Structure 1
Amino acid sequence: MTAGLPDPAGFPDCPVCAYRITGTARLCSDCASQTLQPVAEPHCPVCSQAVAPGRQCGNRVCALPQAEQGFSRVDAVAMYSGALRDKIHKLKYDGKAGWAMIFGRLLVGWMERHSEEMRGVDYVVGNPTHTGRQPIQHIEAIMDAAYTEDVTRAFPLSPPGSHRLVKQAETARSANRTLDDKRAAAAAHAAALTWTGDTGDIKGATILLVDDVFTSGSQLQHVALRLRATGATDVRGLVLARVPWSG
């Protein structure tokens, strides 16, 4: 694809890459995969946490009875480390909006390379941030970018500004809190969400829920339970980064 042209600069040198504007999702995804830390093998088929051969995952959400399970699986583009961790922070806390485009490409590139996992997905929606979040609603920015980067409209993403899941009330943040506090914050977050489409649309649907970072899974678990209670049949997760976790 780049024969006779400059080589891609590599992640995280995206701002100076010759393909920053013209690059495709697949090009940027393939380039980033050369430097990002991949998800460990073997890993839990539910939460993507690394597990030792012959051992079971220690994440409590993976051992819940089926009636209490929210998501059926969560995949990750890469592990939460190094440059990826730094650039997620640049977008999330410093408002460096240019990274939303790159992350949108990484998500779409992952979808293109994992067509089997995308089979049967009816909606791809972001785990929303509060509508007044500052300096930026980073998840919404990433999802808007992903729609733009999906130039062939291969995936059921919503057009910019028309997010199917919104959060209009602010709730307590879970960062740097105890596990019990994180679970309480996750439940409050899920309770504050609204499905903006026709409620009939979600009945029997398979939803791919997108987020930036996955640690214990408490928040995605509660959001997935909320979506299933509204009528979704299956909720899967896709995150940019999986935090190594052994709790």
Structure 2
Amino acid sequence: MCAYRITGTARLCSDCAGRTLQPVAEPHCPVCSQGLAPGRPCSNAVCSLPEAERGFSRVDAVAMYSGALRDKIHKLKYEGKTGWAMIFGRLLVGWMESHPEAMRGVDYVVGNPTHKGRQPIQHIEAIMDAAYTEDVTRAYPLSPPGGHRLVKQTETARSASRTLDEKRAAAAAHAAALTWTGDTGDIKGATVLLVDDVLTSGSQLQHVARRLRATGAADVRGLVLARVPWSG
């Protein structure tokens, strides 16, 4: 058990985790953070789209989806091990502290929401609530616990273990089910940092980002705990 689990700062947790987690590969795609072979372009089809069609300008990742991080995300997401939400909240805030250039100009930091009846836990909301608590200096525009600006009232089909077309349809349905809870005037011209747990192809992020842009956001950036390594 870590001696600083309760008293340590977000930056301390982030720096410590950085010594054990698999870092994002170098070189990597500046749009989706996929690792690249030297001299080879990114093979992710989303990245070749014009930004207006892609929706997001870029997505960064804390680490790669492997080893302990993959296991702990699974424990929170599917087993409801809530203690990991606090750690993940710290990792996100620690990353923000370590990357001030990526946070410059961000007006809202919001989670890519889960529906209100999700079992065993609304894991994204738990992570975002933890991140707000860990941001003790209120350096970032995170919503207070329970005050999530992007919500999902109804359940839609999950995309896990589906065909590519089914995944795209699920992503579109997910985005269509989202609601911006604040005054829509608040988002006009805003830069939104959209947070999620895992990124694979970026299809869901694309649909949610386009939904936010249609609502009035000028720029949508992504930040995920883990980037799934893949090739294609």
Query: Which 4+ residue blocks in structure 1 deviate beyond 6 angstroms?
Result: none
Distance 1:114 1:197 in 2: 27
Identify which of 203, 210, 220 aligns with 1:225: 210
Distance 1:154 1:131 in 2: 28
- Equivalent residue, structure 2, for 1:105: 90
- Specify the structure having the higher radius of gyration (Cα): 1
Distance 1:149 1:66 in 2: 32
**Letter matched to residue 179 of structure 2:** T
Q: Is 1:183 aligned with 2:168?
A: yes
Distance 2:96 2:126 in 1: 18
Distance 1:67 1:99 in 2: 35
Q: Which runs of 5+ in 1 are unaligned?
A: 1-15
Q: CA deviation at 1:242?
A: 0.1
- Equivalent residue, structure 1, for 2:189: 204
Correspondence 1:127-146 to 2 at 5 A = 127-146=112-131
Distance 2:210 2:147 in 1: 22
Q: Is 1:117 aligned with 2:99?
A: no
Q: Is 1:238 aligned with 2:226?
A: no
Question: Structure 1, residues 194-230: CA drift from partner, whole Å, max 9, x if none?
Answer: 0000000000000000000000000000000000000
Correspondence 1:41-60 to 2 at 5 A = 41-60=26-45
- Equivalent residue, structure 2, for 1:149: 134
Question: Structure 1, residues 123-171: CA drift from partner, whole Å, max 9, x if none?
Answer: 0000000000000000000000000000000000000000000000100
- Equivalent residue, structure 2, for 1:18: 3
Q: CA deviation at 1:55?
A: 1.0
Structural RMSD (CA): 0.6
- Equivalent residue, structure 2, for 1:163: 148
- Equivalent residue, structure 2, for 1:172: 157
**Letter matched to residue 203 of structure 1:** K
Question: Contact 2:51–2:57 at 8 Å: present in 1 too?
Answer: no
Distance 2:91 2:105 in 1: 21
- Equivalent residue, structure 1, for 2:21: 36
Q: CA deviation at 1:34?
A: 0.3
Q: CA deviation at 1:66?
A: 3.3
**Letter matched to residue 104 of structure 1:** G
Q: Percent identity among equivalent residues? A: 89
Q: CA deviation at 1:178?
A: 1.3
Q: Which runs of 5+ in 2 are unaligned?
A: none
Question: Structure 1, residues 8-33: CA drift from partner, whole Å, max 9, x if none?
Answer: xxxxxxxx111111011000000000
SS at match of 1:76: strand
Q: CA deviation at 1:54?
A: 1.4
Correspondence 1:75-114 to 2 at 5 A = 75-114=60-99
